[in-house]
């Protein structure tokens, strides 16, 4: 029993700086879901549902999820991306941007 307690204590001590850093950093997410593509490209079946599910998961792990962008034209996406970039810049030097999808 004492070994188990020591092991848990040691792991906690090792992970504590990581936990504190994760709690201190600002996490921001912008989700864009487009399903209506031009003819020849084809429509996606669940992007709006996907961004809802991903948004819920991100909120559960501490992200501030900005208002999702749904079926937007290029200009609306650019406005959202610029606003997102401004929030990332304000959050500090550890901001990250990632994108996934097609188009």
Q: Which of left, alpha, beta for 37 (phi over 0: left; psi -120 to 50: alpha)?
A: beta
* pLDDT score of 1: 46
Identify the H or E element spanning 65: strand 64-65
Q: How confident is the model at residue 95, as a pLDDT?
A: 64
Burial class of residue 27 in the structure, from the number of CB atoms within 10 Å of its CB (0-12 exposed, 13-18 middle, 19+ buried): middle
- For the stretch 60-98, pLDDT in tens is 988 888 998 888 888 998 999 999 999 888 887 666 666
Mean predicted lDDT score pLDDT of the chain:
75
> Quick one: how far is CA 8 from the chain centroid?
30
Listed by start position, the domains of the chain span 26-91
Helix (H, G, I), strand (E, B) or coil at 28: strand
The alpha-carbon radius of gyration of the chain (Å, integer) is 19
């Amino acid at each position: 029993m004492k070994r188990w307690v020591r092991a848990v204590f040691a792991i906690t001590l090792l992970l504590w700086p990581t936990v504190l850093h994760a709690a201190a950093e600002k996490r921001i997410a912008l989700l864009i879901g487009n399903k209506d593509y031009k003819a020849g490209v084809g429509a996606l079946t669940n992007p709006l549902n996907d961004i809802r599910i991903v948004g819920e998961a991100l909120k559960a792990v501490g992200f501030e999820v900005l208002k999702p962008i749904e079926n937007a034209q290029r200009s609306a996406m650019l406005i959202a991306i610029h606003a997102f970039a401004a929030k990332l810049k304000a959050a500090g030097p550890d901001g990250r941007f990632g994108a996934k999808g097609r188009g």
